[in-house]
Amino acid sequence: MERIGFIGLGAMGKPMTQNLMKAGFACNVFTRTRSKIEDVLAAGAVWCNSPKEVAQKSDVVITNLPDTPDVEHAVAGKDGILEGARAGTLIIDMSTISPVASKNLAIQAEARGCDFLDAPVSGGDIGAQKATLTIMVGGKPAAFDRALPIFRALGKTITLMGDSGAGQITKAANQILTAINIEAVAEALVFASKAGVDPAKVREALMGGAAYSRSLEFHGQRMIDHNFKPGFRMRLHRKDLDIIMETGKAYGVSLPVTAQVRELMSATLNAGQGDMDNSSFALLLEKLSNTQIK
């Protein structure tokens, strides 16, 4: 069985590592704050002092990090994965980063005799905990086949989308849809509530028609409950839209509604909502409308 290295044991990476260990994989780990993963170490994971050391001890190295520069540094920076990797090492980035950067990392990995997959995920921290993530993969078919037993320990819907970068492009499309949809749910419920119609009944009625979406089901309930404890933090979703706008510019794609929703996300960050759930669009719209969903 492959020896797995995992770099970035945050809200997503920690339960993913735990699920890999439950599936029988030996895991070597590195993360920014060791004290937050003492339970993982106690369960048998091996601490490493750098991404380089993780690579030296592993056959497959997975990264799950907040942003593009973090992944670039972990993979190709000083004491990074490529400094410690042997020819034949498989590197899997499961972060959400720039597709352009992802392609460049794949080229650098290939030059060192390593395979590289971009494999961003959807499903949030709950999906990570339950091993029900959707995994969108870009890279070579042979590397994908090698990674499948690992992916099956982490998720349920696993798809090879195409060459390097295709996984990140697919995740970007996912983030466009979810951002616009969540904001639309917030507008609809604020609109109904201020007009004097019970938003809970509106949500229930719309769930049975063409307006149904998972965002209406799950985020709509969060808005009604005013429960903005983060599943997916607003600042991270805004980061994803930053990447999307940059990528759209690189490919010459017009993204007018995405741009508007990104600006609303920026307003929520300015209002101190960056670490709230992305359903907290509702709070901003309540303030703008001088009302509250109730």
Q: Of 130, 171, 194, 229, which residue is the catalytic one?
A: 171
Q: Is 52 part of the annotated catalytic residue set?
A: no
Contact 109, 84 (CB under 8 A): no
Residue 133's φ and ψ, nearest 5 degrees, are -65, 150
Residue 2's φ and ψ, nearest 5 degrees, are -60, 140
Q: State how far the Cα of 1 lies from the Cα of 107, in Å rounded to an integer.
A: 27
Whole-number Cα distances in Å, 183 to 39, 146, 161, 213, 223: 37, 39, 27, 12, 11
Q: State how far the Cα of 193 lies from the Cα of 44, in Å rounded to an integer.
A: 51
Sign of CA dihedral 220, 119, 153, 235: negative
Q: Which residues are catalytic?
A: 171
